[in-house]
Amino acid sequence: MTRRVVLLAHEGFPDRAKTAVGVLRYADVEVVAVLDREIAEVDDDARVSDYLDDVQDAPIVGRAADAPEFDALVVGIAPIGGGLDQSWRPDLQFALESGADLISGLHYFLSEDERLATLAAEHDADIWDVRQPPSDLTVADGVARDLDCEIVLSVGTDCSTGKMTVTRELYEAAVDRGLDAAFIPTGQTGIVIENWGIPIDRTISDFTAGAVERMLVERQDHDYLFVEGQGSITHPAYSTVTCGILHGAMPDQLVMCHVAGREAIHGYESFEIPNPATVANLYEQVAEPVAPTEIVAGSLNTRGLDEDDAQEALDTYEAQLRVPVADPVREGPDAILEAILE
């Protein structure tokens, strides 16, 4: 039986609700409602389809108590810092009191929150903190480059540039073509979708590359491994994670992700994003001493642009990167996949 899921995305849907959108688009669950009190307050008939195409539809409501019956509540937004917004407590508590599970990718572990843990125990509900990494991680052996798989990693000019999306689209398109592929999730959204994976941004920095390597070694029986990237090598706070994934995964190919028109790091607006070609080159140079690789394609998020503007943005991006590019949501991932399979 498909699980019935509520996605918490208060004041963030859809633009700042990566996990919610990822679940709507890719996970094998039935989303019965999205919680966004800001949207629900002004439109009590709001639906996901008012905001997004090509994902499953669901009503948008203001609180968990207004949602149809559900089996799990997924925290579908990832605020900077990963703390718990205290105003979410009524929804979390309602879920547990209804016997529904909580699934959270917050840095703050809900299972260690005394009030929530007590409620979960009382109502026989589970709390799954997706960002809790295995306790037995260790340093990388430096072996990913020796695996007999084609390893493809998504990298970007910033956070939230579509790395999870393009990686997921490429994986699904590869499987549709009959290729033997696996998706390697490194963040909360991918892990929620796949029901497997290590939250790389939560690993001890000495073990970050080793954690990525471990996932690849576990899935080395596949021909293609599509690794979900994180952050950006040019990000003032999150480059640590990006560098660990790049050197831990030792990818054969990179897909470079960018958002059309974005000129500064999201949330760190005083940090300019260089020309995407400069960033692309930097990834290749950082990879070079450990495991040489190359940017083979570009993924551009053109959401919000009309057809003409999107095409212009894609043309510009292709001219910058000098490799095939596409918007994997607007156009599908085929052009990117072709470049990878060449």
CB of 168 to a copy of itself, least distance (A): 22
Kindly indicate which of the ranges 36-44, 168-176, 188-196, 208-216 contains the residues binding a copy of itself, using the contact rule CB under 8 A. Answer: 208-216
- Residues 29-68 as x/- pattern, contact with a copy of itself by CB under 8 A: ----------------------------------------
> 164 to 193, contacts with a copy of itself by CB under 8 A?
none
Length of the chain: 342
Choice from 236, 261, 292, 304 touching a copy of itself (CB under 8 A): 236
CB 73 within 8 A of CB 8: yes
- Residues 113-142 as x/- pattern, contact with a copy of itself by CB under 8 A: -------------------------xxxxx
Q: Which two tokens stand for residue 35?
A: 């919680």
- What number of chain residues touch a copy of itself (CB under 8 A)? 49
Between the alpha carbon of residue 252 and those of residues 31, 278, 290, the distances in Å are 36, 20, 12
CB of 197 to a copy of itself, least distance (A): 15
Nearest Cα to 9, choosing from 67, 81, 62, 86?
Answer: 62
Nearer to a copy of itself by Cβ, of 59 and 187: the residue is: 187
Find out whether the peptide bond into 289 is cis, omega within 30 degrees of 0.
no
Residue 82 contacts a copy of itself per CB under 8 A: yes
Kindly indicate which of the ranges 92-100, 278-286, 292-300, 307-315 contains the residues binding a copy of itself, using the contact rule CB under 8 A. Answer: 278-286
Q: In sequence order, what are the beta bridge partners of 60? A: 34
Neighbours of 3 (CB within 10 A): 17
Nearer to a copy of itself by Cβ, of 158 and 327: the residue is: 158
CA distance 279 to 263: 13
DSSP assignment of 211-249 equals: HHHHHHHHTTTSSEEEEPP-S-TT-TTTHHHHHHHHHHH
Nearer to a copy of itself by Cβ, of 124 and 269: the residue is: 269
Neighbours of 195 (CB within 10 A): 12
CB of 136 to a copy of itself, least distance (A): 11
CA distance 189 to 13: 15
Nearer to a copy of itself by Cβ, of 107 and 330: the residue is: 107
Enumerate binding residues for a copy of itself (CB under 8 A). 80-82, 107, 138-142, 200-206, 208-210, 233-244, 247-248, 250, 268, 270-274, 278-279, 282, 285-286, 288-291
